[in-house]
Structure 1
Amino acid sequence: MASPDWHEEARVMVETQIKSRNIKNEALLEAMSKLPRHLFVPDNLRRVAYADCALPIGEGQTVSQPYIVAKMTELLDPQKGDKVLEIGTGSGYQAAVLAFLGCEVYTIERIAALSERAKKVFEKLGIADKVQTKIGDGRLGWAEESPFDRVIVTAAASKIEETWIDQLAEGGRLVVPLVVSFRTEQLIKITKLKGRLHEERHDYCSFVPLLPGVKEI
């Protein structure tokens, strides 16, 4: 079980792991201090839910280290009311951060069990109306709901899929951990301006791989 005073754990997490690493977006810092991260991890790991590391959530997947969630969100720079596509629901924590920031989130997961578990947490937090879920192949995006102001990929991609770019609105941003060498990924931010793509490279990181298709039950 997480400590009854999880608010203090979340506050310390933000101060020592996120603010101290030069994340400055005040709305993001506030959202992560108010979000009960322990709800997104298995019961036996709730005591370490606010630790400075990624944690397994079953099905061979993880919830990312708090700093990495913060860094990717700051690079994405979502604004209140933005329509955001997330590739890889996982635990649902990243989608919840975006919802707490006032975004309209569309999140795709290839593993049905994870998607259903995340939906229950969204309902418990009262944000189910802000997060639309779908079971599918994230490489294909969500064409019927495009364009999106922001696209965030939460698994290691071997390439930037054309569908993500096509579904990104003019002036939109894409953030993705891209495989740059063996077992090494780097956070890439792409901004779409006047039909051209402007790329920036940021932190090195480690994610589970983005896999094709939908996992069969």
Structure 2
Amino acid sequence: MIKKQIISTNSNTRLSSGSRNIGIKGPSPEVKNRLQKALELNTGLNSDIHRLRMVNALKEFGITNDQRVLDALTQVQRHVFMDPGTRSRAYVDEALPIGYGQTISKPSVVARMISLALQNNMLNRVLEIGTGCGYQAAVLSCIYKEVYSIERVTGLYKLAMSNLAKFIDLPKINITLGDGILGLPKHAPFDAIILAAAGLEVPTELLNQLNIGGILVAPVGSVEQKIVTIRRVSDTNWSSTDYESTRFVPLKSGIQV
């Protein structure tokens, strides 16, 4: 894990690279390969057994030991958020297409990024950038009191709303059709912000919407990407930590009709 400056900000904003390393070690390539093979044994669609097998594999292979995350992944049925043609692989550790050139993230990536956000143990309000099909928002709703999510693609916004409507027992999730780069300042501050798309840098607008002590988790980079956490330590200071390599779709501005 490497600490370095992620963004260039105005004169009143300082991003420190010398903070204490609070990182959680990411899975090695060998562990990722073993996890993939273990989950490939799962061919079921909506079986609780298959979902439990997936969650147990995530714990066994060291993706996360946070019981809050494991319980949330157990509660939310991933296959419900997927196209019928890909549901047979719902509990395999794969990113699968959901339309509009987008994918549903691997269960291991969802677990990993939420676990990093939970390092501050602040559970009031979370913002997700990139709702996609709604799966991660559903998982977050099992952990945080208030979940806000922004989706820029109109078709995916409608898909997520439809998918989440199937879960009448989940807490209310606030989904907005809009530009995720701008965040949701009227609902800020947030205890955590999680980005499901990679930019060359983290938008200053999002950093300014973090609560003091809040953590932003994001993939950063273009061809080569890495997971980064940025914690707000004061009104004008943030500390950053780099983690393992990853692969996400690019972060884009505006609304796609």
Query: Taking structure 2 as the reference length, what is the TM-score of the superposition?
Result: 0.78
2:149 to 102, 107, 112: 107
Q: Residue 83 in 1 paired to residue 122 in 2? A: no
2:211 to 160, 169, 177: 169
Q: Residue 153 in 1 paired to residue 153 in 2? A: no
RCO (CA 8 Å, sep 6+): is it higher in 1 or 2?
A: 2
**Higher alpha-carbon Rg:** 2
Long gaps (5+) in structure 1: none
Which residue does 2:90 correspond to in 1?
Answer: 49
For the Cα contact (< 8 Å) 1:175–1:190, is it kept in 2?
Answer: yes
In the aligned structure 1, how far is the partner of 2:134 from the partner of 2:252?
A: 18
1:183 to 207, 211, 223: 223
Aligned CA-pair RMSD: 1.7
In the aligned structure 1, how far is the partner of 2:93 from the partner of 2:171?
A: 30
Which residue does 1:33 correspond to in 2?
Answer: 74
For the Cα contact (< 8 Å) 1:14–1:32, is it kept in 2?
Answer: yes
Moved segments of 4+, more than 6 Å:
none
- Alignment size in residue pairs: 213
1:192 to 223, 227, 232: 232
1:63 to 104, 121, 139: 104
- CA drift of 1:127 comes to 5.5
Name the structure where strand makes up a greater proportion of residues: 1
The one-letter code sitting in structure 2 at the alignment partner of 1:187 is: I
For the Cα contact (< 8 Å) 1:104–1:130, is it kept in 2?
Answer: yes
- CA drift of 1:43 comes to 0.9
Q: Give % identity.
A: 34
Long gaps (5+) in structure 2: 1-42
3-state DSSP class of the match of 1:85?
A: strand
For the Cα contact (< 8 Å) 2:133–2:156, is it kept in 1?
Answer: yes
In the aligned structure 1, how far is the partner of 2:157 from the partner of 2:65?
A: 31
3-state DSSP class of the match of 1:21?
A: coil
Q: Which moved more, 1:140-149 or 1:120-129?
A: 120-129
Query: Taking structure 1 as the reference length, what is the TM-score of the superposition?
Result: 0.92
